[in-house]
Amino acid sequence: MSQSFSSLSSTCPVPIPANKILELSRICPVWMVKGNVHSKPVLIALDNSDNAMRAVDHAAFMLSGTDCPVTLFYSKRNLMRFFSSEAVDPGSALESMWQSAAGREIAPYMLKAKEMLITARLDESQISSRVVGGGRSAAADILDAARRLGCGTIVMGRRGVTGVVAYTMGNVSRKVINDCNDTALWLTS
């Protein structure tokens, strides 16, 4: 996170590193633009955390009345994130049960997120949902989905389900920030 906000250089004598902005702004959403954004679609990365719901709320407010397509996205945690491939067979009954439980767990959050967007005057036809089996990295899954779907903006909470307040950024959001290109990121607390 060594990139700087060039737009702030006109008001600040020295460019401010992005991580300082994120560290100092613990209440307000922070928008970061890395590269050039060329597309309207928005991907909202969800999990079952309060931070994710605040991200949906922020997106709903900002996108109210627009025609931007929105994808609600969730990457299921698979057992490969916790164990080596030698310990868990990807096609096993245990992995299947794990994936099924993850899908049931996120369903009410996806529904609530969709309702929040519709309440904010987004047309239901603008909103799609995607739940993927997930790889070893949720951040990689988010970035891959944004690229495949042509999303110019990713909206997400700074911290996920662990919500450890001692950390300014969660592991997933930090990786998304570091690895994204030609993307706007909206990060909420």
pLDDT confidence tier of residue 166, bands split at 50, 70 and 90: very low
To 5 degrees, how large is the angle CA 41–CA 124–CA 107? Answer: 90
Distances from the Cα of 72 to the Cα of 21, 53, 111, angstroms:
26, 11, 10
Residue 95 structural domain: 27-188
Task: Establish if 167 belongs to a structural domain.
Answer: yes
d(CA 177, CA 18): 10
User: Cβ(116)–Cβ(95) under 8 Å?
Assistant: no
User: Cβ(14)–Cβ(127) under 8 Å?
Assistant: no
User: Residue 110 pLDDT more than 80?
Assistant: yes
Domain of 34, CATH number, reads 3.40.50.620
Task: Give mean pLDDT, residues 166-172.
Answer: 68
Task: Establish if 1 belongs to a structural domain.
Answer: no
Count: domains in the chain: 1
d(CA 84, CA 79): 9
pTM score, two decimals?
0.82
